């Protein structure tokens, strides 16, 4: 079956297991990539991205499915999801630019504004003028005013805050005081005001799916609450419940039952009695388990507590553990059969928060060992930074049994060329 056939008929396309664990990656391949391209190194399996897109198509065959680009805007990833027939949702004007550069038809894009700077709205309205099929999502009356002032008169989705549907970390919470949308009690009157006082065509309602939620509760609740608003407003074509589908980062966590989630979400929307199309826009679910990070051990220090293992990856390579306390599995690629040792793995950044894991049992890491940090495809490279003047790492893609560099390693010279004394 060709890729084009697979995209057209996801029911016949292979999808693989529901989650790809870090232990599932071929050790010889990882060792070869590290030796060839140095570390730290992102490795992205584009075939896995395709499988995840196809799994979504099977679970939500009648929904409008989009890929939330904020999870991973790498050109190779964007081209892959586009090749699978998945349109792209963008949260910033520069993400729109990256999507178009990857081959997206601007008329197929959805732009979801979050406290947008003037330059973002200027760019989006300019692009919409030539591509009126592009849709815009707004979650504040002020944003509606600023869009109208710029002459936008296209399809609009109103972002509604569905209520207390927060995630496992306070940074993911979506509650009544969050910045993601109009609170439900004001949603109907705001939607009616859009119809009466603005030049837009109100085509849908949108909710921010809280990242990390066990979606069996979150998405049906969002669908039910948005459906109720849509029923009162009338004439709404689509209810978009966002993304945030759960990904099992821990080895003992079960994979999300996506089919069950889809059934429950559709049923919840149907309960409201509205004749609207369901839309979903996962990002993390598509890419999280498609990437890992390879890093080399450089230091081993015995302490009264867990052994400290130093590696060349850091919070500049993967921010999520330091920023959010997120768990990422760590595998000793070099020596998986050694006796486990309780270790804290940290990088070369001079701050106590530069740890990839703490007090974790890992087959005894020794200097020179290659470690793999798994489930790194979502918000990994996107949050990478240049703290301590560490250049951004390279990225290698694996596809159809071949490998290629899709993001070149930065150098200090690259950093310095952007600065002037």
Residues that are catalytic: 350
Q: What is the DSSP letter of 150?
A: T
The radius of gyration of the chain from alpha carbons, rounded to an integer in Å, stands at 22
Asked if omega into 342 is within 30° of 0 (cis), the reply is no
Phi-psi category of residue 244: left, alpha or beta, with phi > 0 → left and psi -120 to 50 → alpha: left
B/e letters for 100-129, b = 16+ CB within 10 Å, e = fewer, are bebebebebbbbbbbebeeebbebbbebbe
| CA 78 – CA 228 distance, rounded (Å) | 34
| CA 155 – CA 204 distance, rounded (Å) | 9
Within 185-321, strands assigned E span 201-206, 238-240, 277-280, 291-301, 307-311
| CA 334 – CA 364 distance, rounded (Å) | 10
**In the numeric block, which tokens belong to residue 202?**
């109100």
| 286 in Cβ contact with 56 (< 8 Å) | yes
| CA 355 – CA 322 distance, rounded (Å) | 7
């Amino acid at each position: 079956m060709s890729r084009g056939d697979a995209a057209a008929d996801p029911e016949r396309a292979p999808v693989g297991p529901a989650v790809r664990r870090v232990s599932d990656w071929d050790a010889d391949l990882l060792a070869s990539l590290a030796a060839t391209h140095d570390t730290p190194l992102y490795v992205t399996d584009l075939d896995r991205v395709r499988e995840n897109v196809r799994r979504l198509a099977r679970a939500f065959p009648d929904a409008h499915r989009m890929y939330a680009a904020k999870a991973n805007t790498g050109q190779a990833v964007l081209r892959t999801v586009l090749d699978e027939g998945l349109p792209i949702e963008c949260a910033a004007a520069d993400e729109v630019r990256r999507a178009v550069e990857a081959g997206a038809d601007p008329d197929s894009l959805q732009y979801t504004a979050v406290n947008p700077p003037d330059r973002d709205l200027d760019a989006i309205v300019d692009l919409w003028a030539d591509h009126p099929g592009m849709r815009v999502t707004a979650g504040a009356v002020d944003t509606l005013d600023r869009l109208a002032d710029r002459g936008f008169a296209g399809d609009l989705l109103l972002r509604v805050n569905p209520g207390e549907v927060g995630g496992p970390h306070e940074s993911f919470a979506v509650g009544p005081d969050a910045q993601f949308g109009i609170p439900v009690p004001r949603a109907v009157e705001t939607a009616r005001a859009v119809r009466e006082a603005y030049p837009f065509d109100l085509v849908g309602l949108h909710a921010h799916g809280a990242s990390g939620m066990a979606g069996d509760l979150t998405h049906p609740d969002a669908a039910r609450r948005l459906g109720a608003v849509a029923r009162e407003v009338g004439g709404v074509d689509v209810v978009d419940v966002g993304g945030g589908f759960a990904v099992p980062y821990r080895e003992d966590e079960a994979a999300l039952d996506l089919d069950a989630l889809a059934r429950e979400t559709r049923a919840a929307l149907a309960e409201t009695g509205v004749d609207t199309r369901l839309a979903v826009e996962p990002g993390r679910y598509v890419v999280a388990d498609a990437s890992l990070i390879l890093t080399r051990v450089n230091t081993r220090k015995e302490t009264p507590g867990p052994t400290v293992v130093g590696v060349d990856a850091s919070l500049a390579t993967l921010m999520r553990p330091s920023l959010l306390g997120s768990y990422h599995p760590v595998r000793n690629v070099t020596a998986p059969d050694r006796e486990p040792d309780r270790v804290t793995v940290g990088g070369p950044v001079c701050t106590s928060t530069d740890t990839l894991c703490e007090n974790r049992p890992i087959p005894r890491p020794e200097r020179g060992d290659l470690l793999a940090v798994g489930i790194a495809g979502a918000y990994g490279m996107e949050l990478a930074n240049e703290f301590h003047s560490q250049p951004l790492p390279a990225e290698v893609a694996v596809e159809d049994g071949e490998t290629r560099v899709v993001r070149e390693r930065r150098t200090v010279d690259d950093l310095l060329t952007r600065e002037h004394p």
